[in-house]
């Protein structure tokens, strides 16, 4: 497999909603690259200055997609949209954030409709990176030519993410400690260590950003999206949002319903779910996906070296790592946490199942490299042990949005209850709530109502989705009041454009505004 094929194939993981960890809330992962560009952010309300930036694709993938031109720009947006024009008081009043944009345009483009604005999820995922990946076409998991022939593909890094005034306040050492720690800290001592880690992270971020932490919330970011729409010159927005990007898109549709041309929300988040319900939903979703993996393993022993009982093999690997982690040649230890996140990583795509089986088998033989490859792809950790600001932004956004704050006693109670209901994933999802419980910033919840005046919005759900379980799809569509559900009976996180049925339905909607028929269900293959 070529380097390009491997990197683009992993884009399905980038369109992700990450499971909670010791200090992590829901999010997604992308390789980080901050180009050394000199462009200045255009002032609010002014047209951006675009410059050619082929170096972004070259750094991410090794080359640009054939026939694609890449241009970059930056725009400035108010830090606090709610402060009002000319305000001088309040957090962020009178200040701006820079928002980085990348536009991929095909040389074969004809009868241009406008721009397709992309958000890959997270929160914390880079839309700039994702626009590059999606520009490579369906052979590599990208967008079909039917779309790139009619639209510019525009990715943006939301406020606080990657190239857009990035929030950075978590050390690499603390991220290593979080991912490497026991995903189910049963003793009071180990649980207290989790809490101490979250408290340290919260203090560091609070000390650095103070009362501006709530400004990274979803409603502020949704208002930025309208600035992006204006910057690319579209009267109305055409939008494709994955995972958390469905929440961002739904918020935009409520704020600016008459500015929507077409909107596809793939991997739906239920905006009305609070912290506990959302965490339990992910625990259930990952358990279901893991069960699907174990059944595949039993039926495909020739491709699954840990058959016939994959669940026992995985749980044994995690248990062994708790007491005697395998050490790599560089001294890094494959602790129970790293094995756990290798499992999480593999469940985002059905193609990851075989990788997981091989990695667990190799770990038993003393080679942890496969475990680290999977876990590091999820964590956004490079070979030198450096992280992007993915999880800094993830916490900042999720905790600004979240209003529910369960007690420590309640978290401990749920950790035990969910261990019984969702044995592999429940405890980690319960403990993961500590991230926002210990977060120091204020809260700025997004709206959860109807998108009155918006056109039909297509909400796509995957029946085997671990990170945004299928049950949330209809709930998001119903909340908006204009949602039309499109179901994929497949595995992994997000659906478009993985099969002809889903692709044809979404393409017809984006290009011709033809809404999928009510109740359309697309087969797995």
Residues with catalytic function: 243, 465, 493
- Contact criterion met (CB below 8 Å) for 252 and 228: no
- Contact criterion met (CB below 8 Å) for 456 and 515: yes
Neighbour count for residue 186 (Cβ, 10 Å): 12
* 3-class SS letters over 52-118: ECHHHHHHHHCCCCCCEEEEEEEEEEECCHHHCCCCCCCCCCCCEEEEEEEEEEECCCCCCCEEEEE
Neighbour count for residue 8 (Cβ, 10 Å): 24
- Contact criterion met (CB below 8 Å) for 393 and 416: no
- Contact criterion met (CB below 8 Å) for 347 and 19: no
Strand 326-327 to 260-266 pairing: unpaired
Backbone angle region of 383, left / alpha / beta, with phi > 0 → left and psi within -120 to 50 → alpha: alpha
- Contact criterion met (CB below 8 Å) for 240 and 118: yes
Residue 275: C-alpha distances to residues 26, 287, 294 (Å): 10, 18, 29
* Cα–Cα distance for residue pair 297/200, rounded to 1 Å: 41
* Cα–Cα distance for residue pair 162/31, rounded to 1 Å: 10
* Cα–Cα distance for residue pair 187/322, rounded to 1 Å: 13
Q: Which one, of 460, 458, 459, 457, lies nearest residue 492 by Cα? A: 460
Contacts of 447-450 with CB under 8 Å at 24 or more apart are 447/219, 447/251, 447/254, 447/255, 448/271, 448/272, 448/479, 449/254, 449/479, 450/254, 450/479, 450/480, 450/481, 450/482
Residues 6+ apart with CB under 8 A from 188: none
* Cα–Cα distance for residue pair 343/420, rounded to 1 Å: 19
Backbone angle region of 210, left / alpha / beta, with phi > 0 → left and psi within -120 to 50 → alpha: left
Task: Kindly provide the residue ranges of all beta strands, DSSP E only, lying in 381-482, ordered along the sequence.
Answer: 457-464
Q: Residue 489, SS3?
A: strand
DSSP 8-state symbol, 239: E
* Cα–Cα distance for residue pair 94/515, rounded to 1 Å: 42
163 alpha carbon, distance to own chain's centre? 16
Q: What is the dihedral of CA 160, 12, 418, 321, to 10 degrees?
A: -100
* Cα–Cα distance for residue pair 185/187, rounded to 1 Å: 6
> Taking the CA atoms of the chain, what radius of gyration do you get in angstroms?
22
């Amino acid at each position: 497999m070529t380097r390009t094929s491997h990197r683009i194939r992993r884009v399905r993981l980038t369109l992700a909603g990450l499971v909670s960890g010791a200090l992590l809330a829901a999010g997604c992962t992308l390789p980080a690259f901050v180009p050394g560009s000199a462009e200045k952010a255009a002032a609010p309300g002014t047209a951006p200055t675009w410059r050619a930036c082929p170096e972004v694709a070259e750094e991410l993938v090794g080359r640009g997609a054939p026939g694609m031109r890449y241009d970059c720009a930056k725009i400035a947006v108010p830090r606090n949209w709610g402060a009002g024009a000319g305000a001088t008081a309040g957090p962020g009043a009178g200040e701006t954030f820079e928002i980085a944009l990348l536009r991929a345009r095909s040389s074969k483009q004809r009868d241009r409709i406008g721009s397709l604005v992309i958000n890959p999820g997270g929160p914390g995922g880079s839309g700039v990176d994702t626009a590059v990946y999606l520009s490579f076409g369906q052979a590599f998991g990208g967008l079909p030519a039917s779309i790139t022939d009619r639209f510019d593909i525009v990715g943006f890094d939301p406020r606080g993410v990657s190239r857009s005034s990035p929030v950075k306040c978590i050390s690499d050492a603390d991220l290593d400690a979080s991912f490497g720690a026991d995903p189910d800290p049963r003793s009071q001592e180990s649980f207290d260590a989790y809490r101490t880690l979250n408290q340290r992270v919260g203090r560091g971020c609070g000390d650095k950003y103070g009362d501006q932490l709530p400004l990274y919330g979803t409603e502020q970011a949704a208002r930025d999206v309208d600035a992006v729409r204006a910057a690319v010159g579209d009267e109305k927005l055409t939008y494709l949002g994955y995972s958390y990007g469905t929440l961002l898109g739904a918020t935009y549709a409520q704020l600016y319903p008459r500015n929507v041309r077409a909107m596809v929300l793939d991997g739906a988040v239920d905006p009305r779910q609070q912290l506990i319900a959302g965490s339990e939903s992910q625990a259930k979703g990952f358990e279901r996906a893991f069960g699907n993996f174990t059944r595949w393993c039993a039926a495909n022993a020739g491709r699954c070296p840990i058959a016939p009982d994959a669940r026992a093999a995985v749980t044994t690997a995690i248990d062994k790592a708790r007491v005697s982690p395998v050490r790599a040649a560089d001294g890094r230890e494959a602790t129970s946490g790293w094995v756990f996140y290798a499992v999480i990583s593999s469940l985002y795509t059905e193609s990851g199942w075989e990788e997981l089986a091989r990695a667990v088998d190799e770990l038993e033989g003393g080679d942890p490299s496969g475990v680290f490859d999977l876990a590091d792809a999820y964590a956004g950790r490079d070979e030198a042990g450096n992280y992007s600001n993915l999880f800094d932004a993830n916490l900042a956004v999720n905790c600004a949005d979240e209003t529910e704050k369960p007690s420590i006693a309640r978290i401990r109670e749920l950790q035990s209850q969910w261990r019984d209901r969702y044995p592999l994933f429940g405890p980690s999802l319960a403990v993961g709530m500590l991230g926002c419980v210990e977060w120091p910033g204020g809260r700025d919840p997004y709206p959860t109502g109807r998108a009155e005046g918006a056109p039909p919005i297509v909400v796509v759900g995957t029946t085997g989705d671990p990170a945004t379980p299928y049950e949330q799809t209809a709930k998001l569509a119903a909340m908006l009041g204009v949602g039309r559900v499109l179901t994929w009976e497949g595995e992994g996180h997000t659906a478009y454009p993985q099969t002809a049925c889903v692709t044809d339905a979404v393409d017809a909607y984006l290009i011709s505004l033809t809404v999928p028929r009510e109740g359309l269900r697309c087969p797995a293959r």
